Structure 1
Amino acid sequence: MAAKRKDPALYTLTAGSIAGAIEATITYPTEFVKTQLQLQDGSKGSARKGASAPKGPIDILVTTVRTQGVTAVYRGLSAMVIGNTAKAGVRFFAFDQFKYLLRDSEGKTTGYRSVLAGLGAGMTEAILVVTPSETIKTKLIHDGNSPNPQYRGLVHGVKSIVKAEGLGGIYRGVIPVMARQGANSAVRFGVYSSLNDLVKARLTPGETVPAAYTFGIGAIAGIVTVYTTMPLDVIKTKMQGLNAKQLYNGVFDCAWKVFKNEGILSFWSGATPRLARLSVKHNNTVE
């Protein structure tokens, strides 16, 4: 019997890039809400100081649409689409290469090898693509909360950020981004592969995994990924806000201030919209 054809790297890269762009456009409102939840002041006692109480996902969405129009919830979309297009392509390409390098004597990549391949893919995409696109997206969204926004779209925003902060300005939060992407890929690919292997072990030779099982495996992997990596996502967003340079002196300082000022539960701010976004993605993909 002829061996199963392996898709060329270029095909994988192109397919992943197109899928990433489409996914980003469809799910962006949930990303917008998640970022707003993480950027808002949720500090303890904020209500006592006269500040507005932290808002929930629905309240943020409804208020934004009512006061600024529907297009406001797509602020920063261009940065996300460009980033996702490149990110998805890099991820699938990198994961395939790491899987090839880490295959065992039987040519398979299972167990911890799959986790390592996912980790390598996540770290690669974080360095090459994710950090700058996430920083620009976050700053554009945060800027929209100002009475007088200073960024007039993606190009002007990038120019302004680089002019004011140098190239380092679009690489804010690179450490938590790398940690999040690596953990995202390692956890989801690892959980997905492990559960998939368990199911396959109970099937007869040649039998394919039922669609319901595939959906369930993907859902479980997504939930585990979101809740285990959420603190990294929150720290990442905090460090990419407009005033982050003045507020935080590194990752640990940011984490400590979030814990001290906002409480432990704030590390899971935006988990619901993030999970909603992840639930519509393909079962074996991650953020």
Structure 2
Amino acid sequence: MADVETLLKQAAMQIGAGGSAGFVEVCIMHPLDLVKTRLQIQATKSSLTTSDPHYYNGITDCLKKMYKFEGVTSFWKGILPPILAETPKRAVKFFTFEQYKKIFMFGSSSPTPLTFALAGLGSGITEAIFVNPFEVIKVTLQSNKSLATQVPSTWSVTRQIVRESGLGFRGLNKGLTATIARNGIFNMVYFGFYHSVKGYLPEYEDPLLEFGRKVAIGFTSGVLGSCVNIPFDVAKSRIQGPQPIPGVIKYSSTTGAILLVYKEEGFRALYKGLLPKVLRLGPGGAVMLVVYDYVYNYLDNRFSSKDD
């Protein structure tokens, strides 16, 4: 019974800490995620001209045109779905990571880098299955280029997707395999690198130096994960975003989308949106892990002191 109570207490703390980490990270970094999506769904061989308000020549140009033609609130288009998903998503992310870590110990007394990597992969796959419908809604909202006052609500977009395409792999679960690949690979690198390196580098007694150590490792983890999984992120955006010809599905499968982008637009197109992704998930990865660590430790100390 004590083990069950301990597990439930840990789950509750992971929900609180993970939700806090996710909420803070999304609110701060969402504009860069939006820019990444806009750049990814824009084909290299586009019929748009550079003077067109919907043609984006890099991060700065995208931000300027969004501000000019859509208003400052456009920077947070599609933020409600990730906010609604973050608390349970981070609970799934961190809680399942801990459970997978136990599975992949392989009889060892302490976790190895392989343990962290496999546990991260498992948590990423689980997380992707849960979060994919929110991703479909988010990308649909982010690809909308109308004025902020004309943007449809999250709920109306959700109803429209379900009404027109259903709940399956052409509707709210469109691009599921791409999301699984993206999240699985990211979490494998993210958790694998963070926990492995954190275990090798000694902790500092100075709180400020220790904070800097965690931020640096978390930042590097986010950057590495972003660089490795970006082709799958591009495929996901192409599958879940508006198709080039309305009514004609050009990007349907993960592998097919990657090969098609490579064939038509070249290798570099598979890394579209990498800079805003790195700018988001580098510091964002640091924010998430550091906030999670500190909030979880705070809750753990508070609950432990009450138990004592």
TM tier, smaller: 0.7 to 0.9
List per-residue Cα deviations over 1:213-232 (Å, max 9, x = no partner): 33332232222111111111
Structure 1 residues 63 and 23, CA gap change in structure 2 (3 angstroms): same
Separation of aligned partners in 2, 1:227 and 1:246: 28
Separation of aligned partners in 2, 1:53 and 1:139: 18
Give how far 1:285 is off.
4.0
Does the CA-based 8 Å contact 1:44-1:263 persist in structure 2? Answer: no
- Give the corresponding residue for 1:140: 141
Gaps of 5+ in 1: none
Q: Which amino acid aligns with 1:72?
A: S
My pick for the range that moved more, 62-71 or 244-253, is 244-253
- Give the corresponding residue for 2:78: 76
- Give the corresponding residue for 1:255: 258
Does the CA-based 8 Å contact 1:235-1:254 persist in structure 2? Answer: yes
Separation of aligned partners in 2, 1:52 and 1:156: 23
Question: Matched residue pairs, number?
Answer: 276
Give how far 1:211 is off.
3.9
- Give the corresponding residue for 1:36: 38
- Give the corresponding residue for 1:216: 216
Question: Secondary structure at 1:247's aligned position in 2?
Answer: coil
- Under a length normalisation based on structure 2, what TM-score does the superposition of the two structures give? 0.79
Q: How does 1:122-141 map to 2 (within 5 A)?
A: 122-129=124-131, 131-141=132-142
Separation of aligned partners in 2, 1:119 and 1:87: 15
Q: Which amino acid aligns with 1:228?
A: V
- Give the corresponding residue for 1:101: 103
Give how far 1:75 is off.
1.3
Q: Which amino acid aligns with 2:113?
A: G
Q: How does 1:32-181 map to 2 (within 5 A)?
A: 32-43=34-45, 54-103=56-105, 105=107, 107-129=109-131, 131-142=132-143, 144-145=144-145, 152-168=152-168, 169-181=171-183
List per-residue Cα deviations over 1:113-139 (Å, max 9, x = no partner): 11111111111010112x111111001
Separation of aligned partners in 1, 2:110 and 2:183: 24
Separation of aligned partners in 1, 2:46 and 2:64: 25
List per-residue Cα deviations over 1:19-54 (Å, max 9, x = no partner): 212221221111111111101121289769x99865
Does the CA-based 8 Å contact 2:70-2:146 persist in structure 1? Answer: no
Match among 9, 12, 15 for residue 14 of structure 2: 12
Gaps of 5+ in 2: 1-5, 291-308
Q: Which amino acid aligns with 2:166?
A: G
Structure 1 residues 64 and 45, CA gap change in structure 2 (3 angstroms): closer
Question: Secondary structure at 1:118's aligned position in 2?
Answer: helix
Question: Secondary structure at 1:171's aligned position in 2?
Answer: coil
Question: Secondary structure at 1:213's aligned position in 2?
Answer: helix
Does the CA-based 8 Å contact 1:234-1:268 persist in structure 2? Answer: yes
Q: Which amino acid aligns with 1:182?
A: G
Does the CA-based 8 Å contact 1:46-1:52 persist in structure 2? Answer: yes
Q: Which amino acid aligns with 1:132?
A: P
Q: Which amino acid aligns with 1:277?
A: R
Separation of aligned partners in 1, 2:99 and 2:254: 30
My pick for the range that moved more, 171-180 or 190-199, is 190-199
Structure 1 residues 13 and 44, CA gap change in structure 2 (3 angstroms): same
Q: How does 1:204-243 map to 2 (within 5 A)?
A: 210-243=210-243
Separation of aligned partners in 1, 2:282 and 2:259: 31
Structure 1 residues 216 and 75, CA gap change in structure 2 (3 angstroms): closer
Give how far 1:196 is off.
2.2
List per-residue Cα deviations over 1:233-282 (Å, max 9, x = no partner): 11111110122761124222211221122211111111111111123335
Give how far 1:105 is off.
4.7
Question: Secondary structure at 1:248's aligned position in 2?
Answer: coil
List per-residue Cα deviations over 1:62-118 (Å, max 9, x = no partner): 111111111112111111211222211110111121123333656422220111111
